[in-house]
Structure 1
């Protein structure tokens, strides 16, 4: 088993590059996962783990361990390369303050719309131009909680494998089938798949709970600042709105998405 004691090691520098640079992640098709639960969810979600950097004193409370001990601790059935690192090295590369002693190199999956495998009457969450990693992570948590068939990110402004997205999603970035595309690509895909599109917007809208979501349905939400694009609204089967009684006319995008998605799930008897 390899051991790294220098914070200037090439592998350590590689971790830092993958954490900081979206360009590096996209070029190499690799990204970093930190944390016990997140690594488990990635493996269960079919992501390939290339190698694990492990601080034995944190993960196992023991410096004398084997790769099999690591696999057992993480409860994973894959056998990636295990590299031990000192606590000093781990503190340098750990992205989160609450560390768990394990960091993984993982291979990115295809995010092509054509790779989505949908049920006959799918329920899909569309997120258009969501900028903040925290909001995107929260949307993925909502999608996981509702067990939607897919999340589609239209006109993406960021990187799905940004460490902040992985962290804020609590690993749900690995549990929900996800794809990306331009708004036109997304609306064309929905039309071709005979999936109704419902756009959450203020303009010419019906109450969200007056819509029948039992057929194949996609619910689209946008940013709080600008909402959904005119292009997406024009392609919608209907515009929908959540009635509000207060002084403001918008909510956090993840809150709005949760209300809309769980109404669709209620109509489907949460199946």
Structure 2
């Protein structure tokens, strides 16, 4: 059992709270029974399981490398308010190409809760992939991971320069939809193409103008009440379900 927060292994775990270290090691830390089960069920590489003393370990975990730690050590590495006493170091997956007919492009979304919710909704809506553009909050941020509720392990997620990937998607037959207010058509008045990639922008600034200029269609969601705007994750849900439902009719 590891009992000291000064232990070198514990220090290495703690460093995974920083994006640079996650990138360098190509690993990230998840907490809780549900996320760990989802990672296992989706065949992600589980490098190590960390269990707090006195906490029950699921039987399937016995096939993996397990480290028991004291209460103070687990509290030291935990980023949740009410930790369940179980965590794991997960290996990142390297994905090459988007496949399928429905893709979501994320342009500089900053709020981890928004990004996590969008990924979860994309999974629920049956989208084939999510592409995170430059300036977007780190996918492996603890708050993002928790907000996905495990969907991070279900749907392919890529990190790419959107201005470079959009021409590639067009060449592959995708119609690019960018969300904006100026020069936009109401989303439900736009016909759905066989392949659609929807671009969602920063919470305050919206989609980058250069990316809007690359779009085939500019769409908006009507506001019937007095709210100034919709939360970006809500807008994402409306547009993704419209694209999927229209495709299935």
Whether the 8 Å contact between 1:17 and 1:24 is mirrored in structure 2 is yes
Tell me the residue number matched to 1:31: 28
In the alignment, structure 2 segments of 5+ residues that lack a partner are none
Match 2:185 to one of 193, 196, 206: 206
- State the Cα deviation string for residues 148-182 of structure 1 (Å, max 9, x = none): 10011122333211112111222222211011111
Tell me the residue number matched to 1:65: none
Could you tell me how far apart the structure 2 residues matched to 1:224 and 1:55 are? 38
2:83 is aligned with 1:99: yes
Report the secondary structure of 2:47's partner residue: strand
How far is 1:248 from its partner? 4.0
Match 1:52 to one of 36, 49, 54: 49
2:36 is aligned with 1:86: no
> CA RMSD of the aligned region, Å?
1.8
Matches within 5 A, 1:1-271: 3-19=1-17, 21-58=18-55, 60=56, 70-72=58-60, 79-110=63-94, 115-119=96-100, 122-269=101-248
Could you tell me how far apart the structure 2 residues matched to 1:131 and 1:215 are? 30
Figure out how many residues of one structure are paired with residues of the other and give that number. 249
Could you tell me how far apart the structure 1 residues matched to 2:59 and 2:108 are? 38
Tell me the residue number matched to 1:66: none
How far is 1:56 from its partner? 4.4
In the alignment, structure 1 segments of 5+ residues that lack a partner are 61-68
What is the TM-score with the length of structure 1 in the denominator? 0.86
Could you tell me how far apart the structure 2 residues matched to 1:175 and 1:233 are? 29
Could you tell me how far apart the structure 2 residues matched to 1:162 and 1:232 are? 25
How far is 1:189 from its partner? 2.1
Could you tell me how far apart the structure 2 residues matched to 1:192 and 1:208 are? 23
Could you tell me how far apart the structure 1 residues matched to 2:232 and 2:209 are? 18
